[in-house]
Amino acid sequence: MHQERHDAGGELLLSTHTDEQWRRRRRELNDWINRPKVRKLSKRTRLFGKTPVDEQLHPILIRLQRAGLVTEFSCAGVSPLDEPVDHSLYAYLTYFSDRGPAESFTNLLMRNMKHRALITYEPSRSRYDVSSFFIGHNRSFCILLLHSAEQFIQESRL
């Protein structure tokens, strides 16, 4: 298993991935960079407060807000196969650790998403970043994230 400390910013990698999974991730990125980009669909967004967010993450953000988790930014549940220009290769969610039940939610994500998510913590900014680990898995990442948000709300009520 591969667990490490990232760049000089002090970001800590919390999720674990095998060396083979990291190699696959690098291959997928290289393949994506080198293949032709054809636009099939435009990116779809909705307003979350005053911020446009990806349509697939909107219901997740609503649920997390209800559970008391403060999100800073989120983006791109759109597949790069649909939208090769205006998207993020990895869907992601950023939330603060010092506002709300972030640690509990992070533990739930690590149990539910396992190797499908890249989860980091940035102590200097007191925030977590959760992203899809593989390119092309953004939709399934969003589905798992929504399931985890719903589960988190249910467990919080107990």
Digit-coded pLDDT (tens) for 30-59: 888 888 877 777 777 888 888 888 888 888
Contact present, 133 and 116 (Cβ < 8 Å)? yes
The more confidently predicted of residues 4 and 18 is 18
- Average pLDDT on 75-82 reads 51
Would you state the CATH architecture of domain 11-35+43-156?
A: Alpha-Beta Complex (3.90)
Per-residue confidence (pLDDT) for residue 83, from 0 to 100: 54
Q: Which of 13-17, 50-54, 131-135 is predicted most confidently? A: 13-17
Task: Count the helix, strand and coil residues of the chain and give each as a percent rounded to the nearest 5.
Answer: 40, 20, 40
Residue 50 φ/ψ region, left for φ over 0, alpha for ψ in the -120 to 50 degree band, beta for the rest: alpha
pLDDT of 109 above 60: yes
Per-residue confidence (pLDDT) for residue 8, from 0 to 100: 47
Per-residue confidence (pLDDT) for residue 81, from 0 to 100: 52
Per-residue confidence (pLDDT) for residue 73, from 0 to 100: 65
pLDDT of 2 above 50: no
Name residue 140's amino acid.
S
The more confidently predicted of residues 83 and 100 is 100
**Residue 117 CB neighbour total at 10 angstroms:** 26
Q: What does pTM read for this prediction?
A: 0.82
Per-residue confidence (pLDDT) for residue 21, from 0 to 100: 95
- Domain locations along the chain: 11-35+43-156
